[in-house]
Every structure is written in structure tokens, then in C-alpha cells.
Amino acid sequence: MPSVTQTYTVTGMTCEHCVRAVTGELSALPGVEEVRVDLTAGTATVTSAGPLAEESVRAAVDEAGYELAGGGA
């Protein structure tokens, strides 16, 4: 199965610490292969072995102390 890449909008990130926190939590999700967080754009792009449940992504971002805006694009 090919990898799936989804981009999410994350609100509340203001610094590199934010980026590291969100990256760490998303990287811990099962099946995640790569996480790229763009502080300027306020996005997190996640590449995974298969589609991720939005609830899982939302919970990971929440655990990092931020909020997922809307759904995955």
C-alpha cells in the first residue's frame, strides 16, 4: 500500500518548541513515517503507512498543547 500524506492546520504554535512538541506527538502515532511542521504556515504534514484517523491526529496535537483546526486537507 502506498504511503498517505495529509496536511493539517494546527493553531497556537508560536515557536520552535511548539514545532518540536507537535512533531514528537504526531511521530508517536502508529504507522507515521514522517512529520513536517511549518511554523509560518501553521501546518503539520504527516506521511503514514495508511490513512490516519482524524481523532488520533487531533488527540496527538491536543496532547502537545495545541489545536487541530478543521479537518485534514
Determine the pLDDT at residue 2: 84
Partners of 38 in the β-ladder: 43
Contact (Cβ atoms closer than 8 angstroms) between residue 31 and residue 52: yes
> How many C-beta atoms surround the C-beta of residue 2 within 10 A?
6
Higher-pLDDT residue of 47, 2 = 47
Tally the C-alpha atoms within 13 A of residue 71's C-alpha that lie toward its C-beta. 4
The model's pTM is 0.90
Q: Where are the alpha helices (DSSP H) in 1-73?
A: 16-27, 54-63
Q: How do the domains of the chain map onto residue ranges?
A: 4-69
Contacts of 48 (CB under 8 A, 6+ apart): 3, 4, 5, 6, 29, 31, 32, 33
**Percentage above 90 pLDDT, the chain:** 90
CATH (residue range 4-69):
3.30.70.100
